[in-house]
């Protein structure tokens, strides 16, 4: 199954802004991002804590809808999903 992942701002600099990833059925949101992040220690440390959970400030979206970080480990990815990962957003 094919999933499109978009990383923004600092995360885009670390991983690239868009990745098409092939994954097996049953893959979770967390598992998918961990698989990509494992290739870049600096990037991994920017997204995950020492226990492998998303850092609180990381913003996650699946198919245009916000995903609570606590639900990412049990949320399954499906063929054609679009995933977005944002660092903290500030503005004024």
Q: Give alpha helix (H) positions in 1-92.
A: 10-15, 29-37, 41-47
In a domain, 25, yes or no: yes
CA distance 32 to 16: 15
Asked, for residue 73, whether it belongs to a domain, the answer is: yes
Kindly state whether residue 91 falls inside one of the protein's structural domains: no
Domain range enclosing 48: 2-86
Tell me the CATH number at 56: 3.10.20.30
Residue 43 domain-assigned (yes or no): yes
Give the global pTM: 0.91
pLDDT in tens, the chain (92 residues): 999 999 999 999 999 999 999 999 999 999 999 999 999 999 999 999 999 999 999 999 999 999 999 999 999 999 999 999 999 876 55
Domain count, the chain: 1
**What's the pLDDT score for residue 88?**
83
- What local confidence, expressed as pLDDT, does residue 90 receive? 61
Identify whether 10 is part of a domain. Answer: yes
């Amino acid at each position: 199954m094919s999933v499109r992942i978009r990383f923004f701002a600092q995360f885009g600099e670390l991983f690239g802004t868009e990745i098409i990833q092939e994954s097996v059925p049953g893959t979770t949101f967390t598992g998918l991002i961990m698989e990509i992040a494992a290739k870049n220690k600096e990037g991994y440390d920017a997204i995950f804590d020492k226990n492998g959970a998303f850092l609180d400030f990381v913003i996650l979206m699946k198919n245009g809808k916000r995903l609570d970080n606590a639900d990412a480990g049990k949320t399954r990815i499906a063929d054609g999903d679009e995933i977005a990962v944002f660092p903290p957003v500030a503005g004024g």
